[in-house]
C-alpha cells in the first residue's frame, strides 16, 4: 500500500509542471544573457547605418570614376550636410547637370542621425546651400582620366560620437579609414 502511495505522489508531482521559483530563475538567466549581449554589441562600437553608408559611398565613387573614364566625361560631387549628389558636365550647354540617365548616381540622402563633413584640398567646406540655389558646380571633381580632386569626406553620427573618413590612398583609390569613436559628445 505504501508503495502505491509513493507512486501516486511522484506521478502527481511529475504532472504538476514548473514552480514559480523555477520559472523566475529561467527568466532571470535569459535577462542576464540578453543584457550581456546588448552591452557587448554597444561596447564594440558597431554602427550598422554608418558602416553601410560608408561602403555605399566608396562603391559609388569607384563606379562614377569608371563611368567617367568609359564615357570620357567629367563628373562631380555636390555635398550637403545630409546628402550628396553626382553631377555631369554637359559640354553642349557648358553647365553642370544632374545625372538623369543613371539612377545609381542620383541624389543620396543619408539616414536620420548621420551627417557629412567635407575638406577639399586641405580646406573645410561649408555644406549649407540655399534651398533655391540653381548652381550645380561640384565641390569635388571626377575627371575623365579617373583622377579626383583631393578631398576627405567624413560620415558621422550626429554629435560626433562615431565617424568614418574617406580619402584617397597612395594609389588614388578612395578608401574608408577605420571608424573613430569619441568618448564625449561635441556640442
The mean pLDDT of 84-90, rounded to a whole number, is: 91
CA dihedral 74, 75, 78, 83 (to 10 degrees): 180
| Predicted local distance difference test score (pLDDT) of residue 8 | 66
Q: State the pLDDT at residue 187.
A: 43
pLDDT of 2 over the 60 cut? no
57: phi then psi, degrees, rounded to nearest 5: -60, -45
Residue 61 confidence class, pLDDT cut points 50, 70, 90: very high
Residue 74: closest CA among 148, 185, 169: 148
- pLDDT of residue 74 exceeding 50, the answer is yes
Question: pTM for this structure?
Answer: 0.69
Segment 125-134, tens digit of pLDDT:
888 776 667 7
Higher pLDDT, 167 or 11: 167
Fold of 48-181: minor pseudopilin epsh fold (3.55.40)
Over residues 78-103, the mean pLDDT reads: 88
As a whole number of angstroms, the distance between CA 17 and CA 4 comes to 21
Q: How far apart are CA 118 and CA 140, in angstroms?
A: 10
Q: How large is the average pLDDT for residues 165-182?
A: 85
Q: Where are the domains positioned within the chain?
A: 2-43, 48-181
Amino acid at each position: 500500500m505504501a508503495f502505491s502511495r509513493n507512486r501516486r505522489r511522484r506521478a502527481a508531482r511529475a504532472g504538476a509542471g514548473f514552480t514559480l521559483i523555477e520559472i523566475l530563475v529561467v527568466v532571470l538567466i535569459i535577462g542576464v544573457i540578453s543584457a550581456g549581449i546588448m552591452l557587448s554589441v554597444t561596447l564594440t562600437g558597431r554602427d550598422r547605418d554608418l558602416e553601410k553608408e560608408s561602403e555605399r559611398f566608396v562603391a559609388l565613387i569607384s563606379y562614377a570614376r569608371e563611368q567617367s573614364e568609359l564615357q570620357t566625361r567629367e563628373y562631380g560631387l555636390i555635398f550637403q550636410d545630409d546628402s550628396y549628389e553626382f553631377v555631369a558636365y554637359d559640354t553642349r550647354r557648358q553647365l553642370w547637370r544632374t545625372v538623369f540617365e543613371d539612377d545609381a548616381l542620383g541624389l543620396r540622402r543619408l539616414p536620420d542621425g548621420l551627417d557629412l563633413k567635407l575638406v577639399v584640398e586641405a580646406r573645410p567646406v561649408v555644406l549649407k546651400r540655399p534651398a533655391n540655389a540653381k548652381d550645380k558646380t561640384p565641390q569635388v571633381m571626377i575627371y575623365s582620366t579617373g583622377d579626383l580632386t583631393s578631398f576627405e569626406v567624413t560620415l558621422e553620427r550626429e554629435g560626433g560620437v562615431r565617424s568614418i573618413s574617406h580619402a584617397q590612398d597612395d594609389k588614388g583609390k578612395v578608401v574608408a579609414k577605420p571608424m573613430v569613436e569619441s568618448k564625449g559628445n561635441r556640442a
